């Protein structure tokens, strides 16, 4: 194993769905309403797909989603993420950086909600490649996006690990031959990655500090 490809939201940040639930509570919507609409309601799902693929602007997405749920479109994206989905998971950031220092090639593969919603302050140290859905017109779990990430780090699927918090996004990666990890928390994911790569980073000072 020589490559590590990781999702952004919910893996390198706190949970996206927790933020959606916080938004529902703040806006007086039923619990789970936003996530359920994206999964099961064609109009909301189409908005999500078009936005993540970069075919509509943030303003168009905000207007459409606001109309769908009967909420104010003003600063809707900011309000959706106020529950913490933009908050980085320091332990995971430290771990990716540590694996890269140890010689693992790394990439982030993200279904993007606009290129300005990322904290890129550590990306130069963390990643050899960045693949955002909005820049390629395709999103997870479309099988076409995974080879883009593999090409970006120059490795075959059989030599790469893919980490995502959504099971449906892992299936196409497994079908290509990648080893997959469904992320639930930093400690568990880091433990699995150490075992897969045969690299112990738990003693790495940065990682230890991030897990405190």
Q: Where are the domains of the chain?
A: 3-14+86-211, 16-80
- Per-residue confidence (pLDDT) for residue 212, from 0 to 100: 44
Edge-first strand order for the sheet with 179-182 is: 129-132, 105-110, 3-6, 160-164, 179-182
* Lowest-confidence segment of 1-15, 35-49, 75-89 by average pLDDT: 75-89
- Per-residue confidence (pLDDT) for residue 84, from 0 to 100: 59
H-helix or E-strand spanning residue 132: strand 129-132
For the chain, what is the largest distance between any 2 Cα atoms, rounded to a whole number of angstroms? 51
Q: How many CB atoms lie within 10 A of CB 26?
A: 13
**Which CATH number is 3-14+86-211 given?**
3.40.50.1000
Q: Model's pTM, two decimal places? A: 0.91
Convert the pLDDT of each residue in 105-161 to its tens digit: 999 999 999 888 899 999 999 999 999 999 999 999 999 999 999 999 999 999 999
- 179's CB contacts (< 8 A; 6+ apart) are 1, 160, 161, 162, 196
Residue 151, class by beta-carbon neighbours within 10 Å (0-12 exposed, 13-18 middle, 19+ buried)?
A: exposed
Cβ–Cβ under 8 Å, residues 107 and 131: yes
Mean pLDDT of the chain: 93
Convert the pLDDT of each residue in 68-100 to its tens digit: 999 999 999 999 987 655 689 999 999 999 999
Spatial distance between the Cα atoms of 14 and 105, rounded to a whole number of angstroms: 24
Q: 199: which 2 tokens?
A: 């690299």
Q: Which residue has the higher pLDDT, 199 or 203?
A: 199
Mean pLDDT of the region 63-71: 97
Q: How would residue 204 be classed by pLDDT, with cut points 50, 70 and 90?
A: low
């Amino acid at each position: 194993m020589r490559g590590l490809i990781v999702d952004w939201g919910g893996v390198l940040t706190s949970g996206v769905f927790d933020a959606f639930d916080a938004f529902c509570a703040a806006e007086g919507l039923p619990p789970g309403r936003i996530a359920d609409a994206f999964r099961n309601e064609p109009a909301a799902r189409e908005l999500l797909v078009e936005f993540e693929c970069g075919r509509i602007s943030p303003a168009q997405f905000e207007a459409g989603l606001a109309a769908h749920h009967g909420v104010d479109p003003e600063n809707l994206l900011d309000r959706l993420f106020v529950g913490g989905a933009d908050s980085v998971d320091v332990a995971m950031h430290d771990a990716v950086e540590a694996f890269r220092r140890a010689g693992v090639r790394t990439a982030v593969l993200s279904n993007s909600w606009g290129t300005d919603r990322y904290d890129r302050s550590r990306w130069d140290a963390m990643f050899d490649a960045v693949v955002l859905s909005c820049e390629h017109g395709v999103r997870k779990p479309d099988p076409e996006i995974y080879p883009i990430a593999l090409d970006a780090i120059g490795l075959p699927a059989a030599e790469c690990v893919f980490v995502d918090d959504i099971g449906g996004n892992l299936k196409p990666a497994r079908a290509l031959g990648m080893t997959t990890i469904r992320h639930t928390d930093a400690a568990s994911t880091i433990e699995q990655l150490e075992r897969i790569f045969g690299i112990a980073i738990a003693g790495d000072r940065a990682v230890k500090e991030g897990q405190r």
